[in-house]
């Protein structure tokens, strides 16, 4: 199950962060997302594996915490998408698919002429779409 998705701007400012848990661990998820930025920075700044992964937007598993797995995705405009999930065996392809549709949703959201770049995404449509994507993520991995 995906517990949290986040969009982080290129100055590492949170643009959108949404948790999908009932319990009150929003702060923890904020921390996890915030920490994962360190790993993103590290991956981006010293790419050990150049070559095929050079232009890859999908950053893969950022780090496993005790109960979560954190995945990252970096767009061309240095906007980061972070995914926190409780599933311990997640197929990479699933996560890639998730990020692809999430990216599409994000692009649509920021294409809104009333969206101010670099400001928080407040679009309800975006939120609805994201929660839709999050739900289908659970289904596709189960099936």
**H/E run at residue 41:** helix 26-45
CB of 35 vs other proteins, minimal distance in Å: 5
**Residue 38: DSSP 8-state:** H
Q: Which residues pair with 17 in a beta bridge?
A: 6
Total binding residues toward other proteins, as defined by CB under 8 A: 15
Which is nearest to 32 in space by CA: 44, 17, 10, 46? 17
Binding mask 41-60 for other proteins (x = CB under 8 A): xx--xx--------------
Q: Name which position in 20, 21, 25, 34 contacts other proteins (CB under 8 A).
A: 34
CB of 26 vs other proteins, minimal distance in Å: 7
- Phi, psi at residue 134, to the nearest 5°? -65, -40
Sites of contact with other proteins (CB under 8 A): 12-14, 26-27, 30-31, 34-35, 37-38, 41-42, 45-46
């Amino acid at each position: 199950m995906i517990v949290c998705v986040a969009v982080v701007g290129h100055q590492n400012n949170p643009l959108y962060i949404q948790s999908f848990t009932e319990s009150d661990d929003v702060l923890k998820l904020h921390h996890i997302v915030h920490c994962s930025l360190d790993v993103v920075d590290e991956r981006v700044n010293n790419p050990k594996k150049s070559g095929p992964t050079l232009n890859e937007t999908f950053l893969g598993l950022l780090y496993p915490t005790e109960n979560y797995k954190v995945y990252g995705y970096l767009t061309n405009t240095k906007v980061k998408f972070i995914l926190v999930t409780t599933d311990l065996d997640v197929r990479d392809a699933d996560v890639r698919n998730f990020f692809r549709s999430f990216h599409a949703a994000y692009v649509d959201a920021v294409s809104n002429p009333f969206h101010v770049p670099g400001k928080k995404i407040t679009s309800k449509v975006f939120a609805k779409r994201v929660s839709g994507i999050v739900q289908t993520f659970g289904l596709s991995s189960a099936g």
